[in-house]
A and B are shown apart, each in its own frame.
Chain A
Amino acid sequence: MFDYETIRLIWWVFIGVVAIAFAVTEGFDFGVSALLPFIGKTDLERRVVINTVGATWEGNQVWLVLLGGAVFAIWPAVYATLFSGLYVAMLLVLFALFFRPAGFDYRSKIEDPRWRNAWDWCLFLGGTLPPILLGVLVGNLLLGLPFHLDQDLRPFYDGSFFALLNPFALLCGFAGLLLTLFHGALFLKWRSEGTIHQRATATVAALGPLLLTALAVITAWVFLAIDRPEITQMAAADAPSNPMNKTVIAHGAGWLQHFQTHAWMWLAPAAGFGGIFLAWKLGAGAARMAAFWSSALGIAGIGLTVGFGLFPFLLISKTDPRSSLTLWDASSSHTTLLLAFWITVVFLPIVLLYTRFVYRVIWGSVTEQTVLQDSQTLY
């Protein structure tokens, strides 16, 4: 059906879609639980905040699980190199995620205020640490990671955890946190009334300029001061996956040149900045849904900017550029890509369809009255 080269490109797009779906859905879950202790002052207010995402956070989290599974299936070498190389960082993300299921599910099962308050701070940690860490991760993807493959294609990591915490990556981590807080506040504003609604609106207004500034600084930094390696020679795009069959120079023409060569790529950062800006503007008014979806557009734009910028790289090695992994030489076999393609084509629409059904069923503003009415079953 599709030749190897085409299906490799299709999967690069699909994984981008899954990553963006993760950032958009789990993004507001993270944001809402990070804002929880601040936007909710009383127990009842906090229950309102939690229940805006209570029935759906679990489904959203599957986008993260699927992202991991899809990278494993499509780019096994990327999964192996990234997860083992960034061992400590990945485990910190995992440990932070541990706070969430128990936090959501156990918090309201006991009435003791100390119990509930403790879980609220657990949810706060579960909502702030992953976006910071994932932001740091993206920052380091742009910088390139210190790793090499040996002759058996076994990945070795040549850096340390603390080297990941460089100024640029920390700025990306900070932006990741701001982005989820902003996005989460927009979602909360959409699904609440009264005090919570007002606090969420104020949060959006305050975070917008901060977020736009952080993104602008990151963009300028990437275009002006970060090296982008360049492939000088590699096997055909439909050759068997072996990353060692290419030559790469560490200091290429740069990120700006890469975007100038492919001018249409500018659409991505435009959507990123435009979407966030629009969300900030709309966030002050009554167009709740439009504001939220603008922010989602912004997230998609940011994700595409990173993806386009790296293309065709998936993981850049800064210590051994030849070991860098690209979508042409780090993918699974043709058979597996086709198989996974068909599974996705069948199941993606089904998943979207029933997810939409679930959201329609539970949709509506969450207020103190609705929480009290259903106090025994709600979180």
Chain B
Amino acid sequence: MFGDDIVMLSRMQFGLTALYHFLFVPLTLGMTFILGIMESVYVMTGKAVYKDMVKFWGKLFGINFAMGVTTGLTLEFQFGTNWAYYSHYVGDIFGPLLASEGWMAFFLESTFVGLFFFGWDRLSKVQHLMVTWLLAVGTSLSALWILIANGWMQHPVGAEFNYETLRMEMASFADVFFNPVAQVKFVHTVAAGYVTGSMFVLGISSWYLLNQRDIGFARRSFSIASAFGLASVLSVLVLGDESGYTSGETQKIKLAAIESEWETHPAPASFTVFGFPDQENERTDFAIKIPYVLGLIATRSIDEDVKGLKDLRKESAERIKSGMIAYGELQKLRAGDLSAKPAFEAHKADLGYGLLLKKYTGRVIDADAAMIQQAANDTIPQVAPLFWTFRIMVACGFTLLFIFAMSFYYCATRVADQKRWLMRMAVWCIPLPWIAAETGWFVAEYGRQPWTISGVLPTHMSVSSLSADQLWFSIGGFAMFYTVLLIIEMYLMLKYVRLGPSSLHTGRYYFEQSAALAH
């Protein structure tokens, strides 16, 4: 169909720009909530230091927000520019979700972000607090809609193929909205954002405390971050476990690949903690397993088995054969032969599997056994990348749990400032939430291959009809802009972190006080 290079380059561009966008999103999600909490404390207590906290952390948030806006625009364009057939094929479902995000979330956050920065003297305390919370709600609502859209790509419910328009169409909005995969993903992802914001504030506050600067300011920031961070990291982990459960129902292949589970073992399945996946020989070397655990996570029972990749591939092959029939009947239907309808309806659910064969033969119905086998092999992703990224994500999650639990405990017992080891650890662990978020998205998206819409539309069919030159032009442009912007952003961020609350020019903080002393 299309050259593999076009598909590869399109995937590379989308993957890199989406991962890059998600460097900024989680911090925005977390920071807006933390700003809301800090400002609530300010309004309740009237203490100026809390207002300074909102303004200073707000400055850092603003530097990050600008990058989130910039890189978010790319994604809005990119479905159309690079995934045109995808846009045609599922626009009926995916489009309204993005449009809803515009109406309910983007307008809210973007309209109020200006007032958040410039409205301090023009609004009453309570009004400004409302603005901050609306900003926070806006950012999280935006995550809601985009994760419903992404959840639908993982588990496409509430939609049906229409042979007259040759695309998927919305059958039930309620099913799309209340898609269990989407709901779990939403809470897991926003909570991960809250963890990111918390770790950012916790780490930087620790750095001030270690350097004996702006103690009161940093201590208060530290304790808010530790409490909010602990609650958030617990939600992430619990909901992460919950996504194991839902993906057990709908995305068996992804789960089996994450666990490097080649064979179906008698129930209950054991959980592979560690090992070396060997794709070629389809086995896992040096595996360390814990009995029962995978069965519990994936099926919530001890008597259901968890299917291994080899069996799942056999199921794929069956569905591909059924998809060939669906495709053949579809061609008859389109030619006006309505008698093909019952057979088409019977095999419609497997049409997407039939489309997998387009990679090997344009006509689909003439595929031979070897092609079917190749297509079935395609449904099994590369195991090692998923196996490892998943474990990195989980390790980051538990390290963060440890840091937040300790910070919260020592804050509650009022000895946090004496625990220099913990504060040092908090500074060094600032990158962990980002590593977890990026690896998490890698697992979710790479693990869905070879599909853009699980079981419905293969990735190789989704791309636009472009040339490699066009793709190199855009990839070059993104590489240039994104590199330069990242350097500028990091420079500003570090500059303002070093300055600390002194950047507010209130005269109350470290550099201005030491300057005053020197005079």
Binding site for B on A (CB under 8 A): 54-59, 61-62, 65-66, 68-70, 72-74, 76-77, 79-84, 87-88, 90-91, 93-95, 97-98, 100-102, 104-106, 109-110, 152-157, 240-242, 332-333, 335-336, 339-340, 343-344, 347-348, 351, 354-355, 358, 361-362, 374, 376-378
Contacts and interface: CB of A to CB of B under 8 A. Distances in A.
B91 A58 contact: no
Contacts of A351: 103, 107, 111
Contact of A154 (B55, B107, B164, B465): B465
A333 to B, nearest CB: 4
A64 B288 CA distance: 53
14 contacts: A58-B110, A62-B107, A66-B99, A72-B94, A73-B96, A74-B95, A84-B81, A84-B84, A90-B80, A91-B473, A152-B85, A154-B84, A333-B92, A355-B111
Contact of A59 (B82, B104, B110): B110
Given A73-B91, A76-B87, A347-B104, A109 B492 contact: yes
B84 A155 contact: yes
Contacts of B466: 84, 87
Given A80-B88, A153-B88, A105 B464 contact: no
B473 A88 contact: yes
Contacts of A80: 80, 84-85, 87-88, 91, 464
B106 interface: yes
B95 A72 contact: yes
Interface of B: 55, 62-63, 65-67, 69-70, 73-74, 76-77, 79-82, 84-85, 87-88, 91-96, 98-104, 106-108, 110-115, 117-123, 162, 164-167, 169-171, 173, 464-466, 470, 473-474, 477, 481, 485, 488-489, 492, 495-496, 504-505
B73 A62 contact: no
Given A65-B76, A76-B88, A102-B66, 9 more contacts: A58-B113, A62-B106, A65-B106, A66-B99, A72-B99, A100-B70, A109-B492, A240-B165, A347-B104
A343 B112 contact: no
A336 B80 contact: no
A55 B470 contact: no
Contacts of A68: 76-77, 80
A65 B62 CA distance: 20
Contacts of A105: 62-63, 65-66
Contacts of A378: 118
Nearest to A376: B505
A73 B99 contact: yes
With a 10 A CB-CB cut-off, give which of A57, A62, A76, A82 has the most chain B CB atoms. A76
B106 A72 contact: no
B80 A83 contact: yes
Nearest to B485: A102
Contacts of A339: 96, 170, 173
Main secondary structure of the interface of B (DSSP, over half): helix
A340 B91 contact: no
Nearest to A103: B66
Contacts of B79: 72, 79, 83
A155 B82 CA distance: 12
A66 B84 contact: no
Contacts of B84: 80-81, 83-84, 154-155
A197 B118 CA distance: 22
Given A106-B488, A361-B122, A336 B170 contact: yes
A252 B99 CA distance: 35
A211 to B, nearest CB: 28
A72 B496 CA distance: 40
Given A77-B88, A155-B88, A106 B63 contact: yes
A206 to B, nearest CB: 31
With a 10 A CB-CB cut-off, give which of B69, B70, B93 has the most chain A CB atoms. B69
Contact of B114 (A55, A69, A90, A152): A55
Nearest to B110: A58
Contacts, number: 238
Contacts of A69: 76, 95, 98-99, 101-102
Contact of B167 (A57, A97, A153, A355): A153
A191 to B, nearest CB: 14
Contacts of B74: 94
Q: 5 tightest CB-CB pairs across the interface, nearest first?
A: A76-B91, A83-B80, A73-B95, A55-B114, A84-B464
Contact of A106 (B76, B80, B87, B492): B492
B85 A362 contact: no
A245 to B, nearest CB: 9
Given A80-B87, A87-B81, A109-B63, A343 B492 contact: no
B241 to A, nearest CB: 33
B111 A59 contact: yes
A106 to B, nearest CB: 6
Contact of B96 (A57, A58, A90, A340): A340
Contact of A87 (B118, B470, B481, B505): B470
A129 to B, nearest CB: 13
B77 A333 contact: no
B87 A333 contact: no
A28 B426 CA distance: 46
Nearest to B73: A97
Contact of A102 (B67, B80, B171): B67
With a 10 A CB-CB cut-off, give which of A55, A65, A374 has the most chain B CB atoms. A65
B93 A336 contact: yes
Nearest to B162: A240
Given A66-B107, A347-B103, A362-B118, A84 B465 contact: yes
With a 10 A CB-CB cut-off, give which of B113, B118, B505 has the most chain A CB atoms. B118
B111 A358 contact: yes
Given A94-B74, A102-B488, A358-B112, A70 B118 contact: no
Contact of B169 (A56, A106, A336, A377): A336
A101 B103 contact: no
A152 B111 contact: no
A62 B74 CA distance: 13
Contacts of A101: 66-67, 69-70
A54 B118 contact: yes
Contacts of A104: 66
B118 A340 contact: no
A153 B161 CA distance: 14
Contacts of B101: 69
Nearest to B127: A361
B80 A110 contact: no
B102 A65 contact: yes
Contacts of A333: 92, 162, 165, 169-170
Given A69-B95, A336-B96, A361 B115 contact: yes
Contacts of A361: 115, 119, 122-123
